[in-house]
């Protein structure tokens, strides 16, 4: 794979309301994972070839609203959030509510199957009579890995209100810990060096911090500017920058020691 070839990926900012503001579910990546090892991230990962199966259209809510790529990325984000944190944005076919906690428990065995690459979303939907709630996802952000990186991702960030009775739990494989956390707490712990938070994650946490509740956060979805970070030199220092019209202010992260 050349460095110019982009790997399609998707991630979900799963939210719930609390008295302290919206909390987002985050996982700690396993230290042996080849991307963002040990970092606090939103559940997500690469889109699989099977996520693009045209047969999945019959198992997605309001699928006609999305083109093939967008639908596949939304499906990938639902698969990854189920696999990594046990929260499933799906309904019983023909129903309007998300699957119940009791039904979710019955489906838990599929998480290992997805982890082991032994299942597809189409097989999951057909076997369990499910409809994936792609229409419950808000499109929050779009980031492309900088050109100087050896592996480049084309990552779509989605946002959803977590089903009320889906608790969330890391898979113990790709992710080794998990937490429901407010944006302010995540920022404070990153600043105190208690947690590792990579640049795109940090920017989206800071953006989330502007929202007082889940409805506010979801209302910010849809008006997305694609972000491709770049390096700017100032004397002997190097800074990671993004364009100032992307909705994140004008951040400037010193990466001199990392080069």
Q: DSSP letters along 68-137, please?
A: HHHHHHHHHHHHHHHHHH----EEETT-SSBPPHHHHHHHTHHHHHHHTT---HHHHHHHHTEEE-GGG-
Residue 38 falls inside a structural domain: yes
Q: What's residue 259's pLDDT? A: 56
CB contact at 8 A, 203 and 248: yes
Q: What's residue 29's pLDDT? A: 66
DSSP 188: H
For residue 215, give the 3-state DSSP assignment. Answer: helix
Separation CA 92–CA 62 (nearest Å): 15
Residue 64 falls inside a structural domain: yes
The phi-psi region of residue 9 (left if phi > 0; otherwise alpha if psi is between -120 and 50; otherwise beta) is beta
- Shared domain for 135 and 51, answered yes or no, is yes
Q: What's residue 93's pLDDT? A: 94
For residue 30, give the 3-state DSSP assignment. Answer: coil
Q: What's residue 32's pLDDT? A: 44
Q: What's residue 37's pLDDT? A: 44
- Shared domain for 129 and 234, answered yes or no, is no
DSSP 159: E
**Nearest CA to 90 among 74, 68, 72, 70?**
74
- Shared domain for 171 and 238, answered yes or no, is no
Q: What's residue 133's pLDDT? A: 98
Contacts of 246 (CB under 8 A, 6+ apart): 225, 227
Q: What's residue 34's pLDDT? A: 45
Q: In CATH, what number is assigned to the domain containing residue 46?
A: 3.90.79.10
- Shared domain for 146 and 200, answered yes or no, is yes
Q: What's residue 174's pLDDT? A: 53
Residue 249 falls inside a structural domain: yes
Residue 47 falls inside a structural domain: yes
CB contact at 8 A, 14 and 87: yes
- Shared domain for 73 and 127, answered yes or no, is yes
Residue 185 falls inside a structural domain: yes
DSSP strand pairing (237-241 vs 252-254): antiparallel
- Shared domain for 212 and 254, answered yes or no, is no
Q: What's residue 107's pLDDT? A: 96
Q: What's residue 2's pLDDT? A: 53
Contacts of 251 (CB under 8 A, 6+ apart): 203, 240, 241, 242
Residue 183 falls inside a structural domain: yes
What is the chain's length? 259
Domain total of the chain: 2
- Shared domain for 95 and 115, answered yes or no, is yes
- Give the range of the structural domain holding residue 54, as residue numbers without chain letter: 6-225
Residue 1 falls inside a structural domain: no
Place of tokens 């600043």: 191
Q: Which residues of the chain have pLDDT under 50?
A: 1, 30-37, 172
- Shared domain for 184 and 218, answered yes or no, is yes
- Shared domain for 214 and 235, answered yes or no, is no
Q: What's residue 217's pLDDT? A: 97
- Shared domain for 149 and 34, answered yes or no, is yes
- Shared domain for 161 and 236, answered yes or no, is no
Q: What's residue 248's pLDDT? A: 93
Contacts of 68 (CB under 8 A, 6+ apart): 52, 54
Element (H, E) at 44: strand 44-46
- Shared domain for 115 and 202, answered yes or no, is yes
Tens-place pLDDT, residues 217-231? 999 998 899 999 999
């Amino acid at each position: 794979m050349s460095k110019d070839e982009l790997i399609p990926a998707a991630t979900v900012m799963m939210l719930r309301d609390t008295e302290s503001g919206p909390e987002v579910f985050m996982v700690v990546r396993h230290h042996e994972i080849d991307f963002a090892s040990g970092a606090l991230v939103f559940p997500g990962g690469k889109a699989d070839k099977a996520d693009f199966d045209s047969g999945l259209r019959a198992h997605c809510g309001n699928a006609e609203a999305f083109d093939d790529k967008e639908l596949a990325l939304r499906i990938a984000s639902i698969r990854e959030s189920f696999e990594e944190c046990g929260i499933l944005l799906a309904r019983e076919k023909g129903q309007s509510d998300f699957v119940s906690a009791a039904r979710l428990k019955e489906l838990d065995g599929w998480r290992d199957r997805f982890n082991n690459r032994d299942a597809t979303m189409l097989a999951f939907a057909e076997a369990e009579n499910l409809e994936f709630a792609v229409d419950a996802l808000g499109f929050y952000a779009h980031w492309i890995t900088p050109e100087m990186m050896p592996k480049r991702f084309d990552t779509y960030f989605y946002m959803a209100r977590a089903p009320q009775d889906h608790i969330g739990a890391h898979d113990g494989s790709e992710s080794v810990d998990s937490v429901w956390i407010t944006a302010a707490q995540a920022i404070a712990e990153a600043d105190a060096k208690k947690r590792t938070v990579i640049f795109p994650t940090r920017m989206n946490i800071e953006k989330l911090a502007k929202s007082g509740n889940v409805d506010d956060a979801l209302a910010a979805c849809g008006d997305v500017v694609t972000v491709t970070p770049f390096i700017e030199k100032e004397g002997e220092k190097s800074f990671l920058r993004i364009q100032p019209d992307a909705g994140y202010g004008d951040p400037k992260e010193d990466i001199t020691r990392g080069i």
